[in-house]
Structure 1
């Protein structure tokens, strides 16, 4: 595939990425209207949000490995078709149970095609252009993450409170249909077809159970105010993940096809970049959570106003990502340091504003500058860190690596929201007679402090990475299997 034809293919991939990531946040503002329209219970309706994220995270690694084995094009196309159909099912849901099931299926579909995006970038672009492609993808990540509440608010205002939420899902039908046709036409075919078709079913079961044990308590904890049991049950995932790592090494030693090849983690750049992404997404996502809750529950702002405020972060992300590839090529790891310093300054500034400015003086403009700075830093950090990770991955394992990256990003987001949410809700105290604005501002200050800790840890971790990533190594040769794994 020529570089000229790779750019139109990238556009198709980014449409899919935008749709999948947008649907993680756009529904937040629609929950009250869904509650009224479907007469849904709050406990069931909460899974409209969390079911999508859970299913999304569970699909990433298996889908990436299937793409490595059978080619990423059919995985992307099938996932995008399913996402379009399940979005339509969400739009026509007649009760909360139907909507919950359709949202879970929609999240699963998003996870199926999402890993192919990073894998295709790795396969289509050589090292000097891969950074630019990932920079564009970084802009899409930032914009789609922040624009969701704004887009949701605008759609509901345009189509009404009763059925406006249906158009939030329905808009995916025409966009998805066009994207599917373009994917058939523009995405390259081919890819590795492994002669050894023995699937690592045991590894799949162990990893799925470990992620369920990790994520379900964190997701449900968010719905129930972060009870202690949610953290204790999530901790059980650690021995399960250790068991998964042992099993994958066993499969690889016997010449099989591990779900996540252990040799991926042999390189310091890959392992360090993955851990760094986990910690960064805990910081990056948690600040959105805190500000949204403060603005709407504490300061009685509308979802649209909250979305407009967070949109400033997205603007900064586009600015930072547009320069990230050139800076990364020139300065190597240093660009990650610059990005994390800017994000640290941003979050510390937000912390100072919340601690010093009284709630009556909090306005959107007081946080615009810190959020723009944070967005620029995020744009400088996410694409080069992804490039650092994928540059050391054999081409045959691009899908598995993409699944790992996507999974740790989802896990990091869940952990960040769990920690900051627990701090925020545990410090809410209305017994002193203070107004909700005062109480929420005080608690949001504590929660923002946790986000600051996360980003400072990320800043410390970045110094453990190699300064420059080398080209991807050759695939590790498999042994001839002498026994079924």
Structure 2
């Protein structure tokens, strides 16, 4: 990545007029950061770490379980609690970036992420580890949405696809790198610390990002001064989503009816009140947490749904596969992590060729990418269902190479389509919505996988194929959603 010349960003129909009361950051007034490519190299550390620390636990979980003997609920809290809090906080984190400065929030996020990663490594009990993981997810919610927002406002349309491809690479490699090192590091048992150094990977990267971002990015101006923050919206959205997902996460330890049904009903009612609150607040020209008007665009809505479905399928599938390779195939954590290596290579290739194929063949490449993702998961399911412990590894590596190619292609393509429908002044909130869909999809998927995975009796074996089958169906639904999105995009383009 090399720096480009300083250019003036063209004003679009989405941009506010010069006399608008809203003060925008320096990048949004038409002046692009001349060191934006250097800044991008620092910014992509954020999404890499966000996904790395979400996925590293998947392969490290058996080692953690040996230390703490986690209950099913504690296990899901350690693995899925990070993604849950991450998802709950992304819209708030993105909106805070819009209001008080994106560079400022990114630096705060990486500092908090370093501290909470240290807390994870030093945890002395399951409650301590769960609390640290939840705090780590909140830190990721502060830093992650700033990245997409800064790409949206710093790069002109001619450069944005390339910038987003690097963003996609960082996310995808964080996901696969977390799987690989999450398995390798516990097996190395560095200094007798077992799984704990898995969480220390983030600390030096956060320190570097904190220092470097101040050098390569200009200071940001405070926006919308005096209009306040939508604290009521933050509280209602957070509580609503927590109530929605908690019954699924705790299904093995709570009587699901009537407690679970009651909580889900309360969650849906509270979220409905939240949406109504945001609509009414927006009509009075006050700052809102969620610009509901974004969903007036059918393409934006379908893009958010597609993100939700893909992460609801792929994240839990990777969790399940990591557990299966160690529990059923009796691979070491390091060997299990290496099964995901072909996916890392394929993701890097897919992220680079996706925008090029999009330019040549049009938006239908998005459907191909979603189909490759679903086919890869289906092939992995077939390998687990039909193979043996001795023969399953090679088919799984080939299947995940196919999955990686599709996943690598779809991230920059989908992100570019969705953000194209977001005005610059709402870039943080729009990025937060997109990232929230990813993380809530992942948390929901882990909860749903748990429903299929755990048998009625603790004496019975875990039902890996049933749980993986449910995630594969969700990936197939993602292909249908991608086709609808492409169709809508074409209609909008003609209009």
TM-score, structure 1 as length reference = 0.86
Structure 1: distance between partners of 2:465 and 2:89: 35
Counterpart of 1:285 in structure 2 is: 315
385 and 226 in structure 1: CA distance in 2 versus 1, 3 angstrom threshold: farther
Residue 326 (structure 1) aligned to one of 347, 356, 370 = 356
Provide the aligned length of Structure 1 versus Structure 2. Answer: 459
Say yes or no: does 1:412 pair with 2:441.
yes
185 and 228 in structure 1: CA distance in 2 versus 1, 3 angstrom threshold: farther
Counterpart of 1:185 in structure 2 is: 215
Structure 2: distance between partners of 1:335 and 1:427: 43
Say which SS state the counterpart of residue 35 (structure 2) adopts. Answer: helix
Say which SS state the counterpart of residue 164 (structure 2) adopts. Answer: helix
Deviations, residues 314-352 of structure 1 (Å, cap 9, x unaligned): 221111111111222333321111101212322332333
224 and 129 in structure 1: CA distance in 2 versus 1, 3 angstrom threshold: farther
Shift of 1:114: 0.8
Counterpart of 2:489 in structure 1 is: 467
Counterpart of 2:469 in structure 1 is: 449
Shift of 1:183: 1.2
**In the TM superposition, what are the counterparts of 1:54-73 in structure 2 within 5 Å?**
54-73=84-103
Structure 2: distance between partners of 1:396 and 1:105: 28
**Paired residues of 2:104 and 2:220 also in contact (CA < 8 A):** no
**In the TM superposition, what are the counterparts of 1:135-154 in structure 2 within 5 Å?**
135-154=165-184
Counterpart of 1:388 in structure 2 is: 417
Which range moves more in the overlay, 58-67 or 183-192?
183-192
**In the TM superposition, what are the counterparts of 1:81-100 in structure 2 within 5 Å?**
81-100=111-130
Structure 2: distance between partners of 1:141 and 1:27: 16
Counterpart of 1:15 in structure 2 is: 45
**In the TM superposition, what are the counterparts of 1:418-457 in structure 2 within 5 Å?**
418-426=447-455, 443-457=463-477
**Paired residues of 2:99 and 2:223 also in contact (CA < 8 A):** yes
Shift of 1:229: 6.8
Deviations, residues 247-294 of structure 1 (Å, cap 9, x unaligned): 111001112111011111111221110011111111222321332232
Say which SS state the counterpart of residue 164 (structure 1) adopts. Answer: coil
Which range moves more in the overlay, 204-213 or 457-466?
457-466
Structure 1 residues not aligned, in runs of 5+: 472-485
TM-score, structure 2 as length reference = 0.85
Structure 2: distance between partners of 1:273 and 1:226: 35
Structure 1: distance between partners of 2:117 and 2:416: 31
248 and 178 in structure 1: CA distance in 2 versus 1, 3 angstrom threshold: same
360 and 180 in structure 1: CA distance in 2 versus 1, 3 angstrom threshold: closer
Shift of 1:178: 1.4
Structure 2 residues not aligned, in runs of 5+: 1-30
Counterpart of 1:243 in structure 2 is: 273
Shift of 1:148: 1.3
Structure 2: distance between partners of 1:85 and 1:200: 27
Counterpart of 2:202 in structure 1 is: 172
Counterpart of 2:406 in structure 1 is: 377
Shift of 1:362: 3.3
Counterpart of 1:403 in structure 2 is: 432
**Paired residues of 1:143 and 1:311 also in contact (CA < 8 A):** no
Deviations, residues 394-436 of structure 1 (Å, cap 9, x unaligned): 10101001111111111111222233332233489977xxxx6
334 and 403 in structure 1: CA distance in 2 versus 1, 3 angstrom threshold: same
428 and 161 in structure 1: CA distance in 2 versus 1, 3 angstrom threshold: farther
**Paired residues of 2:383 and 2:392 also in contact (CA < 8 A):** no
Counterpart of 2:301 in structure 1 is: 271
**Paired residues of 1:391 and 1:469 also in contact (CA < 8 A):** no
Structure 1: distance between partners of 2:325 and 2:474: 22
Shift of 1:64: 0.6
317 and 227 in structure 1: CA distance in 2 versus 1, 3 angstrom threshold: farther
**In the TM superposition, what are the counterparts of 1:14-53 in structure 2 within 5 Å?**
14-34=44-64, 42=71, 47-53=77-83
RMSD of aligned residue pairs (Cα, Å): 2.7
320 and 469 in structure 1: CA distance in 2 versus 1, 3 angstrom threshold: farther
Say which SS state the counterpart of residue 489 (structure 2) adopts. Answer: coil
**In the TM superposition, what are the counterparts of 1:98-113 in structure 2 within 5 Å?**
98-113=128-143
Shift of 1:33: 4.1
8 and 228 in structure 1: CA distance in 2 versus 1, 3 angstrom threshold: farther
Structure 1: distance between partners of 2:432 and 2:182: 28
Structure 2: distance between partners of 1:172 and 1:345: 32
Shift of 1:40: 6.6
Shift of 1:236: 4.0
Residue 335 (structure 1) aligned to one of 337, 344, 365 = 365
**Paired residues of 1:135 and 1:321 also in contact (CA < 8 A):** yes
Deviations, residues 84-109 of structure 1 (Å, cap 9, x unaligned): 12222333344444333333222211
Which range moves more in the overlay, 207-216 or 159-168?
159-168
Shift of 1:225: 10
Counterpart of 1:479 in structure 2 is: none
Counterpart of 2:325 in structure 1 is: 295
Say which SS state the counterpart of residue 467 (structure 1) adopts. Answer: helix
Shift of 1:24: 1.0
425 and 230 in structure 1: CA distance in 2 versus 1, 3 angstrom threshold: farther
**Paired residues of 1:279 and 1:458 also in contact (CA < 8 A):** yes
